[in-house]
């Protein structure tokens, strides 16, 4: 089986993208780029017996194309929490924003800035209760969905690049 997605998306002022992330459960795509660019798109595919499809792909439209404001630096990391319909973003200055979906639009829910280092990677666990954030300077933080810090560790001399959740 092969899957192919093709949709032209206008990015304002030819801003360079730094990350793209897909929420497969709800169909959202996030594009993060230079100068704080953050766009959330939702692709709706028309299905049903009334849709006549020629070729391989069903017709699709963007049901959402929202530009979010909050980052001033280039957005580098996006992590989805599909269970709680939240999105977490981080920029080149280390600012982390947790976004929530409310009445069909995305809004800031929480903001955190450690002011020491840049986020290398972050990942929500499978039930959406915890997020692990790793910083370039070797710091690792685990937080809860409600914004509380659960655990932290400084791995001095380490240059962390990525975090992944292991299912057990």
The model scores a pTM over 0.75 = yes
pLDDT of res. 159: 83
Instruction: Sketch the domain layout of the chain as residue ranges.
Output: 12-154
Tokens of 122: 């972050």
The superfamily (CATH) of domain 12-154 is: YVTN repeat-like/Quinoprotein amine dehydrogenase (2.130.10.10)
Cα separations in angstroms, 67 against 14, 74, 157: 15, 14, 38
Closest to 42 measured CA to CA, from 18, 78, 66:
66
Q: Three-state SS for 14?
A: helix
Average pLDDT, the chain: 87
Contact 136, 159 (CB under 8 A): yes
Report pLDDT digits (tens) over 97-132. Answer: 999 999 999 999 999 998 889 999 999 999 999 999
Report pLDDT digits (tens) over 28-74. Answer: 999 999 999 999 999 876 665 555 555 555 556 788 999 999 999 99
Mean pLDDT calculated for residue range 6-31 = 87
Q: Pick the residue with more confidence: 166 or 29?
A: 29
pLDDT of res. 58: 55
Report pLDDT digits (tens) over 131-161. Answer: 999 999 999 999 999 999 999 999 988 888 8
pLDDT of res. 2: 64
Residue 77 has pLDDT above 80, yes or no: yes
pLDDT of res. 46: 60
Closest to 25 measured CA to CA, from 79, 81, 77, 68:
81
Contact 90, 122 (CB under 8 A): yes
pLDDT of res. 13: 86
């Amino acid at each position: 089986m092969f899957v192919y997605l093709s949709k032209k998306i206008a990015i304002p002022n030819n801003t360079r993208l730094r990350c793209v992330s897909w929420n497969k459960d709800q169909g959202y795509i996030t594009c993060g780029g230079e100068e704080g660019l953050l766009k959330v798109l939702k692709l709706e595919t028309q299905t049903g017996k009334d849709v006549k499809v020629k070729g391989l792909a069903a017709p699709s439209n963007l049901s959402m194309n929202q530009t979010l404001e909050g980052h001033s630096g280039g957005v580098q990391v996006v992590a989805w929490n599909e269970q709680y319909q939240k999105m977490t973003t981080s920029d080149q200055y280390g600012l982390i924003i947790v976004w929530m979906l409310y009445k069909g639009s995305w809004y800031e829910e929480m903001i955190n800035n450690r002011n020491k280092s840049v986020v290398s990677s972050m990942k929500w666990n499978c039930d959406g209760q915890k997020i692990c954030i790793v910083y370039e300077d070797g710091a690792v933080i685990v937080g809860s969905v409600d914004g509380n810090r659960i655990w932290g560790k400084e791995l001095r001399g380490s240059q962390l690049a990525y975090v992944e959740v292991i299912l057990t």
